Amino acid sequence: MRRTLLIVTLLALLIPCWSSAQVTMRLRILDESSKKAIPFAQATTGGQLITVSDSLGIALITLPAGTYTIALTATNYATQSAVYTFPDTTTHFVYLEASTKDLEEVTVVSSTRSNQSIENSTMKVEVLGKEEVSEEVAIKPANIASLLGDVSGVQIQQSSAVSGNSNVRIQGLQGRYTQILRDGMPLYDGFSGGFGILTIPPLDLKQIELIKGSASTLYGGGAIGGLVNLISKRPTFNQEADIIANYTSLGEVDANAYIAKRNQKVGYTFFAGYAKQVAKDVDGDGFSDVPNAQSVLLHPKFFYYPNDKTIISAGYSGTFDNRKGGDMKVLNGQSDTTHQFFEENISQRHTGEFSIEHFYDNDTRLVIKGSVSYFQNKTTNFEYAAGTFSPSQLSYYNEASYNKTVGKATYVCGINILGDDYQNNSQDAYINDFSNFTIGAFGQYSLRIKDKSTFETGLRIDHHNTKGFFALPRVAYFHRFNEKFATRLGFGMGYKTPNPFVQQDIEYNPLRIVTPDDNLKSEISYGYNAEINYKKDWDNHHTLFINHAFFYTQVNNPIVFIPDVYWYNVRLANSGKPLSSLGSDTYLKLTIKKWELYSGFTYTLAQWDYPGSKSYVPLTPRSRIAMVLVKEIEEKWRFGLEGSLTGTQYRYDGTTTPTYFFAAIMILHNLGKHVSLVLNIENATDYRMSKVESIYTGSITIPEFKPLWAPIDGRVVNFSVRWKL
């Protein structure tokens, strides 16, 4: 079966990625009110798609001599038609009027690399668009953890009670199987992934795209369970300014600012953020449930437009983070012979990035991009094997890709080079210096069949400097039965090479991790998905969308942490049996006038071979139900009510946790066009793991913290003020 899939994929990718045709007419498609370019607008004649506009709103059209009626459609814009006579070498400016109809399901996504609409994509994609991201900016301006946790099938798992670190789990798989990208480039991995989503504010993001299931063929081996792609904002011809200040009942203060502007040749975006958290002992056990934390983030980016077909950008991102948690007396400067436990993490991350996009005639695009990142961390703690851990990691990524649409077929091909160099710099740590280097080539072929179906196949071939070659095929199919029903089917492979700093549910002291054995095998995954969609529009104010998906992922040679000869140390080993995640994910959206209802139900059966866990992956709820109800009143008030019911989870010792309910309430009020106020109550029921059991064992001098299966920070109220130009 695998050999057949490889042959079919290779034959499809051998089709040439180029063709030529002479352009006879150019359309420049713009927003009627803002005069901004409208990308991905579709030009059709006689019901047949001719072309799609590029990021500058330019659509290039070639037709035989004659007169044609050409219709232009774009997401959230009213369709506009006009008659043109060919040949015509004139540049025509077309201004589309914004529509009031909610068309979320035709949002264009870039993570599929073919710029398909979400409605017709062969991949399972969730898009958190402009509205969702903008709302989260006011609710949780410091990071995107809460926003991602609202998505059906996605779980935000807190891995440390001391540092507050969390990771993203998709479809029941641990956090290390989720790849986090920014504008299609890896953001955090390996050792530098320590505080990933906790240091990503949403203010300068345009949208967030989540692919559930294997995406390794497109983005490399790490995307076994799925990926999160953060799409940055770009400057427009209008001056933009967005400033927000936030305060929470836990003593957290946030301040973030974003400004952007472009003219004919140059543009810029600039983000600056500051967050400060005061340590709090919510349950009164003497240890901090949220740490002392302070972080600063700077992200300037510059754009150059040499002509109407080319965009060149370069940017820098700097993150400076300091966290200290543990015994409250130590944090308050009152340590003694009994009260000594603490953990302090001081880190800084410097990232440089560049991108060159060139748009050719006939919907063809060449993209060259890359990034280099330097991460440095110093960890100091008091426990077994106490000491200082101060390593660094240099990571890099470079990619060149070519995208072309010919008729009903779209071709994508490219190469990338990525790697990292880890330097120990610590006498107290077991792990020696190491490096990873991978060079890969990928291709994808998509074919629309009679405007109702899309067949897509892809192949990636990677070579790792120590683990050799990996071949990752992918096959997917989308079919629309009619205006209401559609279905998707897909299969993809992935891999992950051994890394001593894999994202686990438990955050181990790095001083206790033993150097991995060179004989460790790479993890190999096989992912399958099938789903059916239903949608119904009554009129402009009533819509219903239902998605029901089935998924199955098997990971061979899964890597686990097990006790070493010295019980306080751990080492990596390949499990003798595969890890598997089987389940279903149901999502519903209902809109009735100004009421919006979002609901999701996820059932997951995740199993592995680990001593004492009764074969079930720990900290994975068997079932989870989530619901969000939103009401808007005259664009001045917006009310939101969120609730979720998390089912039982297995602990590492095989016992089960109770089911718990989580609720949140949000009130937003717009004061005119520029100022808005938000009051948000998170965890309104004040459910905490500490109400069921202690979060640590042992003594207050040498505690052992348990894996976390529920919130520990309790009810949190925050109030924010936002000013937007």
CA distances from 700 to 525, 694, 703 (A): 42, 12, 6
DSSP 315-354: EEEEEEEEEEEEBHHHHTT---SS---EEEEEEEEEEEEE
- The residue to which tokens 């109809």 are assigned: 101
Average pLDDT value for residue range 480-489: 91
Contact 140, 716 (CB under 8 A): no
d(CA 232, CA 353) in angstroms, rounded, equals 12
- The residue to which tokens 């107290």 are assigned: 428
Q: Name 400's bridge partners.
A: 368, 415
3-state SS, residue 219: helix
Which helix (H) or strand (E) segment holds residue 600: the answer is strand 595-607
In single-letter form, the type of residue at position 36 comes to K
d(CA 370, CA 415) in angstroms, rounded, equals 12
Specify the pLDDT at position 613.
56
d(CA 432, CA 403) in angstroms, rounded, equals 41
Q: What percentage of the chain reaches a pLDDT higher than 70?
A: 88
Specify the pLDDT at position 96.
87
Contact 608, 523 (CB under 8 A): no
Return the structure tokens found at 254: 């946030």
Lowest mean pLDDT among 198-212, 233-247, 585-599: 198-212
Return the structure tokens found at 257: 């600012």
**How does residue 9 score in pLDDT terms, banded at 50, 70 and 90?**
very low
Q: Name 640's bridge partners.
A: 630, 666
Lowest mean pLDDT among 141-150, 547-556, 615-624: 141-150
d(CA 511, CA 387) in angstroms, rounded, equals 8
3-state SS, residue 298: strand
d(CA 138, CA 245) in angstroms, rounded, equals 8
What are the pLDDT digits (tens) for 183-195? 988 876 665 555 5
**How does residue 5 score in pLDDT terms, banded at 50, 70 and 90?**
very low
DSSP 62-116: ---SEEEEEEEE-TTB--EEEEEEES--PEEEEEEPBP-S--GGG-B-STTSS--
Average pLDDT value for residue range 641-669: 92
Asked if the model's pLDDT at residue 434 lies above 80, the reply is: yes
Asked if the model's pLDDT at residue 173 lies above 50, the reply is: yes
d(CA 516, CA 503) in angstroms, rounded, equals 15
* Terminal alpha carbon distance of the chain: 57
CB under 8 A, 24+ apart: contacts of 88-92: 88/24, 88/25, 89/24, 89/25, 90/25, 90/26, 91/26, 91/27, 91/28, 92/25, 92/26, 92/27, 92/28
Cβ-based neighbour number of residue 662 at 10 Å: 18
Specify the pLDDT at position 91.
80
Return the sign of the alpha-carbon dihedral for residues 120, 126, 129, 131.
positive
Burial letters 595-630, b for 16+ CB under 10 A, else e: ebebbbbbbbbbbbebeebeebbbbbbbbbbbbbeb
Average pLDDT value for residue range 465-472: 94
Residue among 714, 707, 717 nearest 691 (CA): 714
**How does residue 217 score in pLDDT terms, banded at 50, 70 and 90?**
confident
Which residue has better confidence, 75 or 336?
Answer: 336
Asked if the model's pLDDT at residue 121 lies above 80, the reply is: no
Lowest mean pLDDT among 15-24, 91-100, 578-587, 603-612: 15-24
DSSP state of 706: P
> Where are the extended beta strands (E) located within 148-220?
154-158, 166-170, 178-182, 185-188, 205-212
Beta-carbon-side half-sphere exposure of residue 369 (alpha carbons within 13 Å): 20
Average pLDDT value for residue range 640-664: 92
d(CA 246, CA 538) in angstroms, rounded, equals 40
Return the structure tokens found at 244: 């927000």
**How does residue 666 score in pLDDT terms, banded at 50, 70 and 90?**
very high
Return the structure tokens found at 249: 């009942």
In single-letter form, the type of residue at position 135 comes to E
Specify the pLDDT at position 218.
83
Contact 127, 208 (CB under 8 A): yes
CB under 8 A, 24+ apart: contacts of 558-566: 558/523, 558/608, 559/496, 559/498, 559/502, 559/520, 559/523, 560/608, 560/610, 561/504, 561/506, 561/508, 561/513, 562/611, 564/514
Under the phi-then-psi rule, with left for phi > 0, alpha for psi from -120 to 50, and beta for the rest, what region is 219?
A: alpha
Specify the pLDDT at position 542.
85
What are the pLDDT digits (tens) for 385-433? 456 778 888 999 999 999 988 888 889 999 999 999 988 877 777 788 8
Strands 178-182 and 226-232: parallel
Residue among 17, 172, 159 nearest 527 (CA): 172
Tell me the backbone φ, ψ of residue 339, rounded to 5 degrees. Answer: -100, 95
pTM of the predicted structure, to 2 decimals: 0.82
Count of positions (residues) in the chain: 725
d(CA 652, CA 461) in angstroms, rounded, equals 36
What are the pLDDT digits (tens) for 12-59? 443 333 333 444 788 888 887 666 788 888 888 866 778 888 767 888
What is the pLDDT of the chain when averaged over all its residues? 84
Which helix (H) or strand (E) segment holds residue 537: the answer is strand 523-539
Nearest 5°: CA angle at 137, between 131 and 142? 150
DSSP state of 133: H
Which residue has better confidence, 699 or 10?
Answer: 699
**CATH code for 2-99?**
2.60.40.1120
Specify the pLDDT at position 166.
79
Contact 395, 373 (CB under 8 A): yes
Asked if the model's pLDDT at residue 663 lies above 70, the reply is: yes
CATH value of 135-157+168-385+395-724 in 1.10.3210.10, 2.40.170.20, 3.90.950.10, 2.30.30.50:
2.40.170.20
d(CA 268, CA 316) in angstroms, rounded, equals 12
Which residue has better confidence, 477 or 381?
Answer: 477
Return the sign of the alpha-carbon dihedral for residues 210, 214, 219, 223.
positive
Return the sign of the alpha-carbon dihedral for residues 533, 538, 540, 542.
negative
Q: What percentage of the chain reaches a pLDDT higher than 90?
A: 42
d(CA 180, CA 441) in angstroms, rounded, equals 20
Domain locations along the chain: 2-99, 135-157+168-385+395-724
Cβ-based neighbour number of residue 243 at 10 Å: 16
Specify the pLDDT at position 451.
75
Return the structure tokens found at 3: 């050999």
Q: Name 496's bridge partners.
A: 523
Average pLDDT value for residue range 137-162: 80
**Cα radius of gyration (the chain):** 26
d(CA 90, CA 24) in angstroms, rounded, equals 8
3-state SS, residue 143: coil
Beta-carbon-side half-sphere exposure of residue 117 (alpha carbons within 13 Å): 17
Asked if the model's pLDDT at residue 714 lies above 70, the reply is: yes
User: ω before 201 within 30° of 0 (cis)?
Assistant: no
Specify the pLDDT at position 383.
60
DSSP 353-372: EEEEEEEETTTEEEEEEEEE
Which residue has better confidence, 379 or 587?
Answer: 587
What are the pLDDT digits (tens) for 220-277? 888 888 888 999 999 988 899 999 999 999 999 999 999 999 888 999 999 999 999 9
